[in-house]
A and B are shown apart, each in its own frame.
Chain A
Amino acid sequence: MERTKAIIMHQDFVEQIRKDFPILEQKINGKPLIYFDNAATTQKPKQVIDALTDYYSGYNANIHRGIHHLAEKATSAFEETRKAIARFLNAESSDEIVFTYGTTDGINLVANTYGEAFLSEGDEIIISTMEHHSNIVPWQMLCEKKGCVLKVIPMSDAGELLMDEYDKLLSERTKIVSVVYASNALGTVNPIREIIEKAHAYGAVTLVDAAQATSHIRIDVQDLDVDFLCMSAHKLYGPTGMGALYGKRALLDKMPPWRGGGEMIKEVTFAKTTYNELPYKFEAGTPNIADVIALKTALDYVENIGLEKIAAHEQELLDYATESLKGISGLKIVGEAADKVSVISFVMDGIHPQDIGVILDQQGIAIRTGHHCTQPLMQRLGIVGTSRASFAVYNTKAEIDGLVAGLHKAKKFLL
């Protein structure tokens, strides 16, 4: 029932939504832009763009310090976003939300604070084969520094984690399990609840890279019982270079601060500095105020449409694209997990992904080609890279037809 209704609404619904995204109106190389690079970053609705302009033209001021009108207005808008993220993730308190540059920054923060304080030689960190470099390198750096060991959960050819193998990796030595919720390269949605539960059984803390998940999957950090979760605003119709780290209060409390400076202190003397409370302890310096404020607008935008409705629309696009691409001979979909977000990666016989990207670009179709910052995953699959189309709320089936036509043309050209 729900689903049929969603399909009937589809046409109208997307038409309305597209009007909110000024960037989609343009032509590229004389063709209407088809933007299928949403896993890299989503486009921004005019509401978000307006929020940025409103801040800079109406109440730009530094926050938390001033007592004047503008400073108060900016501070309260800034803190409203923190509350909005806490609601969005169902955190117990907005004190558990730390603003970051994004997912990468959040993972680095945890590695450099929790990792720094609580890991030592011989301790083990578990990640998975399909991690983004940002959930590999910070741990490698920590391992190098501390003499810890990095273990990797293997995966099947279809792109699903081998949970039996995960069981074998877990032990008393496991201190951190850090896994991606939804893979940016394959689309795979990992059984994150089970991963967390099993890690907890060994007393390990868990981190979830939710960069790709937030715009497609309803996340409830309390229900998942996850210890840390990282997200990026720009993959959720919000601004670039900002995001959030959720952490359980008990953990954040006992973690040392990382960056030092203004904002994160309670009192500074040359002899000793005492640190501010949560979450400010982790937010040194003047933050990215405008973008933080605009993230609230992005969250409102998503919630107004309804995350579930967006997810249903994207699922429909994914199913349609999967069917359509399977009809192209010589094309192989990479990543065929049962549960996927709207990411479809593929390779074509005898054609380098970069060539596909160039020919599609000539036709106004933006996709991503290459290793998607997941080189170890590409090595596991034995390929140099893939072409990846990823869908967002404003995409349409007609655009997928455009992609299919574009791919036929690419084949004609390149083979």
Chain B
Amino acid sequence: MTINEIQDEIIEDFELFDDWEGKYEYIIDLGKKLPPLDEQFKTEENIIKGCQSVVWLHAFEKDGVIHFVADSEAIIVKGLVSLLTKVLSEQKAEDILNADLYFIEKVGLAGHLAQTRSNGLAAMLKQMKTYALAYTSKELKV
């Protein structure tokens, strides 16, 4: 599925909720379901800086697409991390770089990307794009 197809699916999922409770229950559930990151990837390097809670992001390339796996010690952040990786993982570097993540606004989670709340999430998004950028420039060199 393309990035936008996945985003549209998420937006559709969230349309089922008419209050914050349903929405957060869903996010928390996503957080609980996200498999914990393998301990070997919970390295200092993989920590996203600037969070109230620790977020780890590990990225690797396989079969021409970039894979993201991530984790957090806070469950809501973990749920949001799960959404971000769902959208951007297993996509081409170029598509990740060009992605416009409109779903965040649409499902009413923009506040989470705001300064302070958990700017870790904003930092995580930036980090994902940085990986994609690093990868495309590596590709160009080859």
Chain A residues engaging chain B, CB cutoff 8 angstroms: 29, 351-355, 358-359, 362, 369-370, 384-385, 413-414
Contact = CB atoms under 8 A, between A and B. Distances in A.
Contact of B52 (A29, A351, A354, A413): A354
A414 B75 contact: yes
Interface size class of B (residues with CB under 8 A): 10 to 19
Contacts, number: 37
B24 A354 contact: no
B20 A369 contact: no
A267 B7 CA distance: 67
Contact of B77 (A354, A359, A384): A354
B53 interface: yes
Contact of B25 (A369, A370, A384, A413): A413
Contacts of B77: 354-355
A359 B73 contact: no
Contact of B24 (A352, A353, A385, A413): A413
A83 to B, nearest CB: 37
A413 B31 CA distance: 12
A413 B77 CA distance: 14
B53 A362 contact: no
A359 B74 contact: no
Contact of B73 (A29, A369, A384): A384
15 contacts: A29-B20, A351-B75, A352-B74, A354-B76, A354-B77, A355-B75, A355-B77, A358-B24, A358-B76, A369-B52, A370-B52, A384-B54, A385-B52, A413-B25, A414-B28
Interface of B: 20-21, 24-25, 28, 52-54, 73-77, 117-118
B75 A362 contact: no
Contacts of B25: 413
A385 B28 CA distance: 20
Given A369-B52, A385-B52, A413-B25, A354 B20 contact: no
A358 B74 CA distance: 10
A385 B74 CA distance: 12
A352 B71 CA distance: 14
A235 B52 CA distance: 23
Given A352-B53, A362-B20, A414-B28, 4 more contacts: A354-B53, A384-B54, A385-B52, A413-B28
